[in-house]
Amino acid sequence: MSQRTERRGIHVDQSDLLCKKGCGYYGNAAWQGLCSKCWREEYQRVRQKQIQDDWALAEKLQREEEEAYASSHAVHSQSAPGHASLTPFSKFEEKKTNEKTRKVTTVKKFFSPSSRTASKKETQEGKTPSPSISRHASFDTDQVSKDFVEFLKNLYKPGREIHKQCRAFLVSMSNKKDLGADELSECVQDFYQSLADRLISHFKGSSESVEQVMDQVEKYIMTRLYKSVFCPETTDDEKKDLATQNRIRALHWVTIQMLCVSMDEEIPEVSENVVKAITDVIEMDSKRVPRDKLACITRCSKHIFSAIRITKNEPASADDFLPALIYIVLKANPPRLQSNIQYITRFCNPSRLMTGEDGYYFTNLCCAVAFIEKLDAQSLNLSPEEFERYMSGQASPRFSSSEGTWPDGSQGVGTAVTNPVLAQLNTNLELLSGLCSRQEAVMEAAQSLQSEFLSWTQSVQREVNDILEKYPLEIKSSKVSAIDANNVDNENLPSPIKPQVFAG
Amino acid sequence: MSAMRVDAKVVMLGKESVGKTSLVERYVHHRFLVGPYQNTIGAAFVAKPIQVGEKVITLGIWDTAGSERYEAMSRIYYRGARAAVVCYDLTDSSSFQRAKFWVKELQNCEEHCKIYLCGTKSDMIEGDRSLRQIDYHDAQDFAEEIGAQYFETSSKTGKNVDELFQKVAEDYNSSAFQFMTEETGVDLGQKKDSYFYSCCHNN
């Protein structure tokens, strides 16, 4: 028994080490318990399935598109359910097949950017050279295309027209990759303009519905073009991004007082809003559609406004807002800020956004960035010497007020009043030390458990030994089984024959 | 987010504490908040629909930061504006000098932008004439010189406030038609120049 308990912890059965497929080779945990050969097979199978799934999705999309056209083509057939209306529908069907074959080729064009689909379907159409819209981005784009088709379904004929135009535009854009960013921007803007004009003049759309359509068009087009036109290599956007990032880093010492920001971060609600504003402006980089990016800026601005409102107990004006936004940008140091601004400027549908509320906040963000770039001693009400010292890191305005307190976690209460960041730091430190002591307790308990285990096995062993000593194994004379004593070695032998014969 | 469609962008320009925000606040919410250091009221952006004849025109009114700190950036603000209300304090001659600066900027950079000169706090000089530092005729002459409309307003009493913005909307309405026909007549290749293409190249 004692031997068994000792083994339990480390014992691994031979079968556990072998490949799960049972091929007889040893498996590996990294290959999910399979041997290299079986793993490769399995992996291929999963991959194949994935490819098929992608395919199915592509085909589904294509079908949906065709349906969208069908519904725009034969509006009244939609009202009747599929089977019941077969006879009147068949006429349409005929007409449609022509339509369909034509459509399919264009649809191919539509999917060709994803290389895998293209390789299978490029029979008629030449592959559109568009590696920019790469495969791994296709999930997002597929979703957007799906939504777009869904949206256009409700528009019948104009929807079809819009879709055609968009696809043609995307194809033409994929051939224009060598153009500079400004030219690309011009192409997109021209497209927005001409499509909007067309919608108004040809389809007599109300300005509201046109706007709605244009929003969707922007979403669709820009999601598809994002990769190739965001921070393109032809511009020095990336360099500017880095410059701005470093600039903001170098200005880490700028305080809320220097900017004359009327936000009091000691009020919990205010600091909450500040954190939200920072999150929003950082989130901007993760969006693809210019409008979504703008929405992030707007949300950020709204949080700033509420922060100011809470602090001052009255609504904020531009005189409060701009400094606060500058402060938020300095604190957040949003990734790829310049690229994002350039991207929005170049590819946002301008007709409404540059005059509306989003436009206002965006303009303020541009101002904030421009201010940060040009910021000097005068704009912070500092003497040039002070500014130089802060910039070179020789002095820090922050530590002059709460010098020496921050490295010492025990004085957290004192610093909490002077600086909310330090307070946060201190609470974090406290949390960490709490976790540390708990970790120690766990370790102690684990160790005692371990020693208990060891002593337990020992005690069990001892007990067993005691018992063994007490009741030594006495091999009693085998007289008890005397009758069979002779047969012990011949167990396999049949029973004695004699009595059988006698009985018979 | 305001889903409201905005027809025209109107920027408020002027030195700090001349009462830009009060003016907007008065116009949009018909109120005037009193306080000792009251240079800040109201939101920074408002979209206000105005009835002009048969039509409704929505003005997007942009409040701007007036501090000299941000002077270098003001160009970013009024880019694409169709109207600018340049404010100065009737009791502060330095604010009038600043107003002249903005007028010059606007004339150089935004030819499509119509300028409205606006002397604020007229209720104060009505109480005490000696407080007035900018002569009415001087301002009027200046306005004529630059082809601008001139208003003396009071956000406290509401005098001339509605008239100012009504005029802005009416002028926009009559010029929008002109502008539109002009625009469609323009060669497509020149589209680059139309006002919305260049929003912000801040370097």
Question: How large is the ipTM?
Answer: 0.81
Structure tokens at A353: 């956004």
3-state secondary structure of B120: strand
CB-CB: which of B6, B66, B79 is closest to A352? Answer: B6
pLDDT tens-digit readout, A48-63:
877 787 777 777 777 7
Q: How far is B198 from chain A (nearest CA, A)?
A: 8
The residue to which tokens 């005037």 are assigned: B32
pLDDT (0 to 100) of residue A349: 81
Q: What is the largest CA-CA distance in chain B?
A: 58
3-state SS string for A31-60: HCCECHHHHHHHHHHHHHHHHHHHHHHHHH
pLDDT (0 to 100) of residue A472: 79
The DSSP code for B156 is: T
Structure tokens at B56: 């409704």
**Cβ–Cβ below 8 Å for A316 and B40:** yes
List of chain A residues with pLDDT < 70: 1-15, 65-66, 68-139, 315, 351-355, 398-418, 477-504
pLDDT (0 to 100) of residue B12: 92
Which of A363, A375, A378, A381 best probes binding to B when mutated, by most B CB atoms within 10 angstroms? A363
B103-129: average pLDDT: 90
Closest by CA to A18, choosing from A5, A4, A46, A37, is: A37
pLDDT (0 to 100) of residue B115: 94
The DSSP code for A127 is: P
pLDDT (0 to 100) of residue B65: 86
pLDDT (0 to 100) of residue A497: 63
pLDDT (0 to 100) of residue A493: 63
B99-103: average pLDDT: 91
pLDDT (0 to 100) of residue A477: 67
Please give the angle made by the CA atoms of A445, A451 and A455, to the nearest 5 degrees: 140
With contact defined as beta carbons under 8 Å apart, do A58 and A52 qualify?
Answer: no
With contact defined as beta carbons under 8 Å apart, do B114 and B171 qualify?
Answer: yes
Average pLDDT in chain B: 80
> In which element (H, E) is residue B47 found?
strand B45-52
pLDDT (0 to 100) of residue A96: 43
CB-CB: which of A315, A319, A352 is closest to B65? Answer: A319
**Cβ–Cβ below 8 Å for A362 and B76:** no
With contact defined as beta carbons under 8 Å apart, do A433 and A284 qualify?
Answer: no
The DSSP code for B72 is: G
pLDDT (0 to 100) of residue A392: 83
pLDDT (0 to 100) of residue B120: 92
What structural domains does chain B harbor?
4-178 (3.40.50.300)
- Given a cut of 60, is residue B2 above it in pLDDT? no
Q: How many CA within 13 A on the CB side of residue A335?
A: 7
**Cβ–Cβ below 8 Å for B45 and A320:** no
Average pLDDT in chain A: 75
Burial class (CB in 10 A: 0-12, 13-18, 19+), A222: buried
* CB pairs A-B closer than 8 Å: 133
